[in-house]
Amino acid sequence: MSSTADLSGKVALVTGAGSGIGRACALRLAADGAHVRVVDIDQDTAKAVADTVGGAAVVADLTDLDPASALAADVDIVVNNAGVQTVSPIEDFPPERFSMMLRLMVEAPFRLVRAALPHMYAQGWGRVVNISSVHGLRASAFKSAYVTAKHGIEGFSKVVALEGGPRGVTSNCISPGYVRTPLVENQIAAQAETHGISTDQVIEEVLLARSPIKRLVEPAEVAAAVAYVCGPDASFINGASITVDGGWTAG
Ligand code: NAD
């Protein structure tokens, strides 16, 4: 994996780092020299990734907010990545699921950043990176909690940017389109079966109907954007939402 930033000596906490985008971020930040704290609710995957990157596995349910806060007290980089999806019309959407998704994707990031800022401010350097989504910028029907949470994290990220900027802390969102993760690949297979069409047709005509580039984003491409905003070339990039969506949100 190519490296652009020298992050040696930095401690990076990545949530949901056992799988998908979070795992790619852990690999990339470690390749760039950071010591990675691999936080995930899944013990086996957290340990596997931590072993791979020579980091530390931390098993935690981030919806349990008080213990979650304690994980970030001494980190230099926070990557808020853990997230889940539920697809349902609003009138059927389980309210407790809606609350849980906002707790995981908005409140836990707030708690982690809140806990991390004193150390970042004391040293005059810190990086907050929030994995948002095109759904932080655009809505889709039947994804009410997800779209609400992702719009929420976009707003929170900008406030961190305003408060942190004068003190050496930047905050940015990375906002991907559909990423090639197990979750998305399973969705594609299921839709191909349901509609009786090929997986390529599902990608081009269903998932990426609004994207001018008809392919999935690779997790490593998202991780490269994360590494970029952590690196020295991006110290003036603050409060941004960097889309990695093939132009979806340009239309
Ligand atoms: P994933 O399911 O592969 O990984 C998510 C990880 O989060 C898993 O390892 C899971 O165990 C962990 N996790 C879930 N709930 C948790 C909890 N309560 N506490 C601790 N860890 C928990 O998902 P992914 O596709 O890699 O998505 C990662 C992030 O990227 C999410 O925020 C998602 O919204 C965002 N995103 C994904 C896509 C996509 O197409 N896959 C697109 C845009 C944005």
DSSP state of 91: G
DSSP state of 156: H
| pLDDT tens for each residue of 67-76 | 999 999 999 9
Question: Angle at the Cα of 109 (from 107 to 110), degrees rounded to 5?
Answer: 60
Q: Binning pLDDT at 50, 70 and 90, where does residue 3 land?
A: low
Ligand 1: distance of its center to the CA of 196 in Å? 28
User: Is there an atom of ligand 1 within 6 Å of 16 CB?
Assistant: yes
Q: What's the average model confidence in pLDDT over 142-160? A: 98
User: Is there an atom of ligand 1 within 6 Å of 82 CB?
Assistant: yes
| pLDDT tens for each residue of 167-226 | 999 999 999 999 999 879 888 998 899 889 999 999 999 899 989 999 999 999 999 999
pLDDT of amino acid 167: 98
User: Is there an atom of ligand 1 within 6 Å of 21 CB?
Assistant: yes
pLDDT of amino acid 123: 98
User: Is there an atom of ligand 1 within 6 Å of 176 CB?
Assistant: yes
User: Is there an atom of ligand 1 within 6 Å of 152 CB?
Assistant: no
Q: What's the average model confidence in pLDDT over 57-72? A: 96
- What is the position in ligand 1's atom list of the atom closest to the CA of 45? 9
Q: Binning pLDDT at 50, 70 and 90, where does residue 4 land?
A: low
| pLDDT tens for each residue of 101-150 | 999 999 999 999 999 999 999 999 999 999 999 999 999 999 999 999 99
Options 121, 146, 178, 228, the catalytic residue: 146
- What is the position in ligand 1's atom list of the atom closest to the CA of 23? 26
- What b/e string do you get for 139-166 counting C-beta neighbours within 10 Å, with b at 16 or more? eeeebbbbbbbbbbbbebbbebbeebee
Q: Which amino acid is at 136?
A: G
Ligand 1 pocket mutation pick from 14, 15, 21 by most atoms within 8 angstroms of CB = 21
pLDDT of amino acid 1: 45
Q: What's the average model confidence in pLDDT over 86-111? A: 97
Q: Is 228 a catalytic residue?
A: no
Ligand 1: distance of its center to the CA of 237 in Å? 24
**DSSP string over 180-204:** --HHHHHHHHHHHHHHT--HHHIII
Ligand 1: distance of its center to the CA of 157 in Å? 18
Taking the C-alpha atoms of residue 153 and residue 102, their distance in angstroms, rounded to an integer, is 10
| pLDDT tens for each residue of 11-27 | 999 999 999 999 999 99
Strands 35-40 and 169-176: unpaired
Taking the C-alpha atoms of residue 235 and residue 251, their distance in angstroms, rounded to an integer, is 29
- Angle, nearest 10°, between helix axes 20-31 and 219-230? 50
* Helical spans, DSSP H, in 124-180: 144-164
